[in-house]
């Protein structure tokens, strides 16, 4: 009989959290207030990861997954959670991280930004693989906790017009001479065109090219948006249009700001264009850029926030670590007639110092939109001449909370507001936005040094305590083993000392 647990809460990945015999359990597929049977697949000293095998008492949060591949495909982890409950869980994850990691609380919790729960994903990298034992090609996302590709025939988070192509794409790739040398298909959906990028490890033959063209022609008949194939022989920079060559340019638009953003299908853009529009609007309301202000857009990408800021009349410095994205950002500024208000520079923002940030000049305001690692070097480099307002867009609530702790507890900012952006429904991914206002002086260098020293001392003390606990546990284990060996030796000695009597007793029987 499998063990039973009562679920107390959800973690940030949508796993049910329970406590049994002093261990924390993370149970995939279980929801708060449920009693479930579970089976562990990973066991550590203080926690276990497990799968829910049977729900004994069902939660009010439980929903019926729409996709038949849920629980096999690793693309979604929360389809079994009612949609509004997903949003509430993500908001709680953000607030818990801010309190627990950053020791900060927002003055206002912003209403969650959310939109349609299905068909939202306008970017996706699907794997493709020839499976000899099946005699066919699989196209889709990886299975949960596996390198195998899920046997998918539909996907409900992709637009329907792309989902219906999954099975036909299997047939197309299987028909190509290089079917074993095409490991992925990348999808990018724009305002006017859908692009599929075929990763070709070997060149297509003339016959292969004819098959791809025929596929495009057949599936473009009566299609709302044209379908265009690109080929990518090597790295992302090598991707180029293949067919049809007269398709519209890939782009997304921010109509509220009169912005059109052309991009290549292998370049980073937000997965959910509808939510991105609302997120940019909120960021602009919080930042409130004014004509004549000088504003920094850190981790600017291709200009998703830079150009709306510039449209307000402010002057913007956009900084980014990717040369390709900086090149695209410059082109987009010119395309939108805003190049006179924008200056772009390439820089490693994970290596900023107070001196290098100060050398950029004074900024009235700043927008920060970092990757999952956050912007700790940037926020630590802010000095007393720091921007009066910072809007921070985050894709990782843990690093946002860490950086918020520095801004509030060291740099003299107040966390005025924060809230989530449900960019990725049915997944545990939490996007969020926070507004910080400079309301007081920061700590002096001496105070920061003392704080760092105290934190370092606390870390060392924690490490020493953990080492002592481990040593005590190891000693207890060794003592227990020694006692076991001693008991065994004593039993053997007793037997040998009394062997004659035992033998005589046995002979009488």
Per residue in 353-366, pLDDT (tens digit) is 999 999 999 999 99
Alpha helices in 302-371 (DSSP H): 306-311, 323-335, 354-358
Is 232 within any annotated ligand binding site? no
Q: Does position 459 have pLDDT exceeding 90, yes or no?
A: no
Mean pLDDT of the chain: 94
* Four-way CATH pick for 272-442: 3.30.565.10, 3.30.70.141, 3.50.50.60, 3.40.50.150: 3.40.50.150
Strand order in the sheet with 123-131: 136-140, 123-131, 184-189, 194-199, 227-232, 240-243
Phi, psi dihedral angles at 343 (to 5 degrees)? -125, 125
Query: What pLDDT sits at residue 446?
Result: 82
Query: What is residue 465's predicted lDDT score, i.e. its pLDDT?
Result: 87
**208: helix, strand or coil:** helix
pLDDT at 474: 85
Token pair 């627990």 in the structure block, residue: 100
369 marked ligand binding residue: yes
Give 455 or 342, the one with higher predicted confidence: 342
d(CA 190, CA 163): 16
Q: Which CATH number fits domain 4-62: 1.20.120.1200, 2.40.50.140, 3.20.20.10, 3.30.2450.30?
A: 2.40.50.140
pTM, full prediction? 0.88
With a cut of 80, say whether residue 250 has pLDDT above it.
yes
Q: Is 179 labelled a binding residue?
A: no
217 CB-near residues (< 8 Å, 6+ apart)? none
pLDDT digits (tens, 9 = 90+) for 281-331: 999 999 999 999 999 999 999 999 999 999 999 999 999 999 999 999 999
Confirm or deny that 251 is annotated as ligand binding: no
Catalytic residue set:
395
Quickly state the pLDDT bin for 509 (edges 50, 70, 90).
low
pLDDT tens, residue by residue, 22-53: 999 999 999 999 999 999 999 998 999 999 99
Q: Residues 292, 280: contact at Cβ < 8 Å?
A: no
Residue 19: is its pLDDT beyond 70? yes
Residues 370-424: tens digit of each pLDDT = 999 999 999 999 998 999 999 999 999 999 999 999 999 999 999 999 999 999 9
Find out whether 52 is annotated in a ligand binding site.
no
| Ligand-binding site membership of 73 (annotated) | yes
Choose which CATH entry (1.10.357.10, 2.40.50.1070, 2.40.40.20, 2.40.30.20) describes domain 123-251. 2.40.50.1070
The count of residues in the chain is 509
Confidence (pLDDT) at 394 = 98
Confidence of residue 13 (pLDDT cuts 50, 70, 90): confident
389-394/365-368 β-pairing = parallel
189-233: pLDDT as tens digits: 999 999 999 999 999 999 999 999 999 999 999 898 999 999 999
Give the pair of three-digit tokens for residue 341: 């208000």
pLDDT of residue 249: 97
pLDDT(351) > 90? yes
**pLDDT in the model for residue 503:** 79
299 known ligand binder = yes
pLDDT digits (tens, 9 = 90+) for 266-287: 999 999 999 999 999 999 999 9
């Amino acid at each position: 009989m499998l063990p039973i647990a009562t679920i107390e809460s959800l973690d940030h990945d949508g796993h049910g959290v329970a406590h049994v015999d002093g261990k924390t359990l993370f149970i995939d597929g279980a929801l708060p207030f449920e009693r479930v049977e579970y089976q562990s697949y990973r066991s550590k000293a203080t926690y276990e990861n497990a799968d829910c095998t049977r729900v004994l008492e069902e939660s009010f949060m439980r929903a019926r997954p729409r996709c038949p591949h849920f629980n096999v495909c690793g693309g979604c982890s929360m389809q079994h959670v009612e949609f509004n409950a997903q949003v509430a869980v993500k908001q709680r994850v953000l607030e818990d991280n801010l309190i627990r990691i950053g020791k900060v609380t927002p003055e206002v919790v912003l209403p969650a930004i959310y939109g349609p729960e299905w068909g939202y994903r306008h970017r996706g990298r699907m794997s493709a693989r020839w499976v000899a034992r099946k005699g066919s090609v699989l196209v889709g996302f990886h299975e949960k906790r596996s390198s195998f590709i899920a046997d998918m025939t539909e996907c409900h988070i992709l637009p329907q017009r792309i989902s219906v192509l999954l099975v036909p794409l299997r047939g197309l790739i299987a028909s190509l001479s290089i079917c074993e040398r095409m490991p992925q298909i990348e999808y990018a959906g724009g305002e006017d065109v859908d692009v599929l990028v075929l990763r070709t490890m070997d060149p297509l033959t003339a016959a292969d090219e004819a098959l791809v063209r025929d596929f495009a022609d057949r599936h473009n008949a009566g299609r709302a948006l044209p379908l265009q194939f690109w080929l990518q022989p090597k790295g992302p920079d090598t991707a180029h249009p293949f067919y049809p060559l007269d398709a519209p340019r890939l782009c997304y638009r921010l109509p509220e700001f009169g912005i059109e953003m052309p991009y290549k299908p292998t370049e980073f853009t937000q997965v959910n264009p509808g939510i991105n529009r609302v997120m940019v609007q909120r960021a602009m309301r919080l930042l409130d850029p004014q004509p004549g202000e000088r504003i920094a857009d850190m981790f600017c990408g291709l200009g998703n926030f830079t150009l709306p800021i510039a449209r307000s009349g402010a002057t913007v410095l956009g900084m980014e670590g990717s040369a390709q994205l900086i090149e695209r950002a410059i082109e987009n500024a010119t395309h939108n007639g805003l190049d006179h208000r924008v200056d772009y520079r390439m820089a490693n923002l994970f290596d900023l110092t107070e001196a290098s940030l100060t050398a950029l000049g004074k900024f009235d305001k700043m927008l920060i939109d970092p990757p999952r690692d956050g912007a700790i070097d940037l926020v630590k480099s802010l000095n007393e001449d720091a921007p009066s307002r910072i809007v921070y867009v985050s894709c990782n609530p843990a690093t946002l909370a860490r950086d918020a702790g520095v801004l509030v507890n060291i740099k003299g900012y107040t966390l005025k507001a924060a809230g989530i952006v449900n960019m990725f429904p049915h997944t545990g991914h939490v996007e969020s936005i926070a507004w910080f206002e400079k309301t007081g002086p920061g700590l002096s260098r001496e105070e920061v040094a003392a704080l760092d020293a105290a934190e370092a001392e606390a870390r060392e003390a924690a490490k020493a305590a953990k080492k002592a606990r481990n040593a005590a546990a190891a000693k207890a284990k060794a003592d227990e083993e020694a006692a076991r060996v001693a008991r065994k030796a004593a039993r053997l000695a007793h037997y040998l000392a009394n062997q004659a009597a035992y033998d005589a007793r046995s002979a009488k029987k």
